[in-house]
Amino acid sequence: MIFTRAADGPYAALAEEIAADRNEPVVSDINRVHQADSVLIVDAPGSIQPSDLRAIQTRFMEAEPYTLDAGLITGRTPEEARDLYFDRAQSTATAAESADTQHCIAVPDANESIGTNDETAALLTGDSVRRAQLRGLADGGIDSLSTVLHGSHMFSRLADGLLSGFPAAPADFAFDGQQPPFVDQDAGSQRVEEQAILAETLEIPQVFLDGCSALLQNMNDGKDRPVHTALSLLAGAESMIGTYRITECVEHHGPLHHNLLRAGYSAGERAYILNRSAVTAGVEPYPYVVAGLPSHEPSPATVRDQTYTTTLERADDRCFVTVSDVDSPIIDVRVPADVFAADAETFAVRCVDGPKHPLYYTAFREGEDVRVVINAWGLIVADQFEFEVAPSRTIDESRSRLAALAPEDRSDTTVARMATLTESVPDAEQILWAELPERATRQSMKECRSALRRVNEKAAAERFAVQDYRETLDALAEASEHLERARGNLVETVCERKSDSIQDLYLSRTDTAQPETLDSGCPYCHGTVYLRVREDRFGPAARALGICANCAYVFDAPHDDTGDVTFPRLWGSFHDVSTDTQTFTVEFENPLDRLTTASCRLSVEQLSDEEVIGRPTREVVLEPGETITVEYTLDVTGIREHLRSTWSQSAAVSIEPDYSTFGPRFADVGPDNVEAALEELAADGHDALGIESVTVAVDGQEVTVDPSLYDVERGEPDRSYSLAELSGNFVVEAHVVLDTLHTYSGTRTLHPDMG
């Protein structure tokens, strides 16, 4: 089938001539083009619509028999287009007999340390991609050029020159639109001759050009000049694979094309796999088109013998492939698709054991199989190696899968944190709005973010690089270590604060809400819990502080818009301090909708005194919504002596909640009378946390104050309103820090019984 939109003129005549030669119809309606044995698009490069090419290629790529038997017959002139079909595209030319090097791979972006073991190929990377090098190879005669060149490489950065599409005889072909910037009307030809390789002078049978110079004039739009580099390369080619629109360059596509050519794949087969590889690499689908006949095959002298045998082993939702006696430019393997889930569309390939040099893969569904194509920068030579085909990349794998991939010394906790790391870091950064994290925490978060950039780079490369999953794991581990260090620093900061000033370490620039009564009672004494919310005016950080009159501070937790809070619940007793050990348990529910890890630390302090028991820390892993109970068995032998030594000072040991939280301030009484009102309450022995109405005489006037008028007054605690002078009170705190750096604290005040 011949497709053209040319209604008349030389290209319309050429389409009719080719149709007669092939005994096929000519159509101009894209809807009439269906997958047939072959489709040739015949037209001027400025008249071909990229949308037509995309539609035709999609029909071939996504329907059985999964080939790309579509070619483009065009040229800078109608004569070149005619010559491409009737002469060059059907050429049976053989390789240059005297050439030591028959092929060239040129990739300026590639690392210069990369090499090839294909004795027929010259690999040019980095600054070795020079005008003199390309010119010398072309003068000796080469069978193929597989090159990845950005526009800047082609037009100004071949180190000592450039690859130009400017025609040697401008009068024979007039440029449309803006001219190349180095060409002027007077001395342009001379200047170009001195600085450039004219692409039209390169007679190379097979060309692959992945670059910014599209085959179609109307896709360059004067932005990537000169506009006819690709068309000029086509002038001396039998067939050419290039882009028909401006697209991302993928460096490993240069050696992939070379290896496919060396393995004997036709132009259409090469373009098909290159297009599949572009999808694997995350490039917009199907950017490559064949100019010439898609059935054109490399000359026999170009094709290299290849050998390898494969065996498959199924394992759950993945497949292990062992390749033996490998001596081949390409490994092309099919894995039954029923190994994987029916909805799996993307696949990762990992080298379990094999060559250490870079290997690249393309993996995609093809009918009842998943087809895997593996290539290197040269030949793949090995006695045996094994690779794994899986339905997801390392960064997306489940916790158990990460554990299997990670080095043996990685703990389950670390692996779990790695599995949710990229989600945890943005959450964790919210807490940096608060003043609580110290410099060490902030620095660790900065280093974690930097390490995550490396994770993203490796995860992107892992879409097509066989070995990069190992580097992805290493980068994840590094980022995880920085996040763990930040959590450790935060736990230290949280645990070092005093129980009687738990809220003081939080934001000084907060908006303070009124105390409210929490719907649920205290989990320890079932008494009333008062809730105070602190919100940051400049960021998303917010805290909810719960205080019980009997148990002091009950919890200290991140607060969300719903008002829901969660906190650790502590259970234990000091009633029998004659024993050497006491058991405490901490219960905590994961509030997140995903797996998380948590550092759970317990500390025991005597109010108004120093810590009396160490701070044991446990690492736990929680599924979404999971409730865990962590048990601590503490050595409390030091408490007896501690109590005896402080017994004489017992009057100084008391619970002193911060009455800036609940201290009564009477809205109906002027500010000058607040102190007098407090003195009256003290004289009456009134409990400031009572809930009954209070009548106070101030300046001879009796004022009845309803509890609803109680408000928050900032200030220092007033000892006269201490709940009680209870000797030997101990505060047991539990601090849970999630991998998001959200911190939850629960507190119980326990009263040892000395008998």
pLDDT surpasses 90 at 708? no
86 occurs within a structural domain? no
Give the lowest-confidence range in 314-318, 441-445, 560-564, 720-724: 720-724
Shared domain check, 142 and 259: yes
Residue type, 390: A
Q: Give me the chain's average pLDDT, please.
A: 76
CATH number at residue 313: 2.60.40
Give the lowest-confidence range in 168-172, 687-691, 735-739: 687-691
Give the residue-averaged pLDDT of 1-17: 93
The CA distance from 704 to 697, in Å, is 9
547 occurs within a structural domain? yes
Shared domain check, 696 and 613: no
Confidence of residue 401 (pLDDT cuts 50, 70, 90): low
pLDDT surpasses 50 at 98? no
Torsion 442-444-449-450 (CA) sign: positive
Shared domain check, 435 and 354: no
Shared domain check, 587 and 441: no
720 occurs within a structural domain? no
pLDDT surpasses 70 at 211? yes
Among the ranges 191-200, 334-343, 558-567, which has the highest mean pLDDT value? 334-343
The overall pTM is greater than 0.85: no
Higher pLDDT, 129 or 284: 129
Confidence of residue 410 (pLDDT cuts 50, 70, 90): low
Where would I find the beta strands (DSSP E) of 346-491?
Answer: 348-353, 360-366, 369-390
69 occurs within a structural domain? no
Shared domain check, 102 and 217: yes
Residue type, 504: D
Shared domain check, 253 and 115: yes
Contacts of 149 (CB under 8 A, 6+ apart): 106, 108, 129, 163, 209, 210, 211, 212, 249
Higher pLDDT, 487 or 689: 487
Shared domain check, 243 and 101: yes
Confidence of residue 194 (pLDDT cuts 50, 70, 90): low
- Tell which residue, 262, 265, 269, 266, has the closest CA to residue 305: 262
pLDDT surpasses 60 at 719? no
Shared domain check, 186 and 99: yes
Domain end call among 229, 264, 299: 264
pLDDT at 312: 92
Enclosing domain of residue 171: 95-264
pLDDT surpasses 50 at 159? yes
184 occurs within a structural domain? yes
381 occurs within a structural domain? yes
Q: What is the pLDDT of residues 649-691, one digit of tens each?
A: 333 333 333 333 333 333 334 444 555 655 565 555 554 444 4
pLDDT at 259: 95
Domain end call among 365, 392, 419: 392
- Tell which residue, 313, 480, 509, has the closest CA to residue 413: 480
Where would I find the beta strands (DSSP E) of 522-568?
Answer: 529-536, 542-548, 552-558
pLDDT at 110: 85
Higher pLDDT, 646 or 11: 11
Percent of the chain with pLDDT over 90: 22
Shared domain check, 688 and 561: no
pLDDT at 634: 85
Residue 493: CB atoms within 10 A of its CB come to 18
Shared domain check, 619 and 540: yes
Give the residue-averaged pLDDT of 525-532: 75
Residue type, 320: F
Domain end call among 495, 530, 565: 495
Shared domain check, 565 and 471: no
pLDDT at 276: 93
How many domains is the chain built from?
A: 5
CATH number at residue 624: 2.60.40.10
SS3 569: strand
pLDDT surpasses 80 at 415? no
82 occurs within a structural domain? no
50 occurs within a structural domain? no
Among the ranges 52-56, 509-513, 600-604, which has the highest mean pLDDT value? 52-56
Residue 572, sorted as left (phi over 0), alpha (psi -120 to 50) or beta, turns out to be: left
Count CA within 13 A, CB hemisphere, residue 669. 26
Shared domain check, 742 and 620: yes
Torsion 283-284-289-295 (CA) sign: positive
Give the residue-averaged pLDDT of 2-28: 93
pLDDT surpasses 50 at 11? yes
Higher pLDDT, 567 or 514: 567
pLDDT surpasses 80 at 371? yes
Confidence of residue 245 (pLDDT cuts 50, 70, 90): confident
DSSP 331-346: EEEEEEGGGS-TT---
The CA distance from 489 to 266, in Å, is 61
pLDDT surpasses 50 at 718? no
Residue type, 368: E
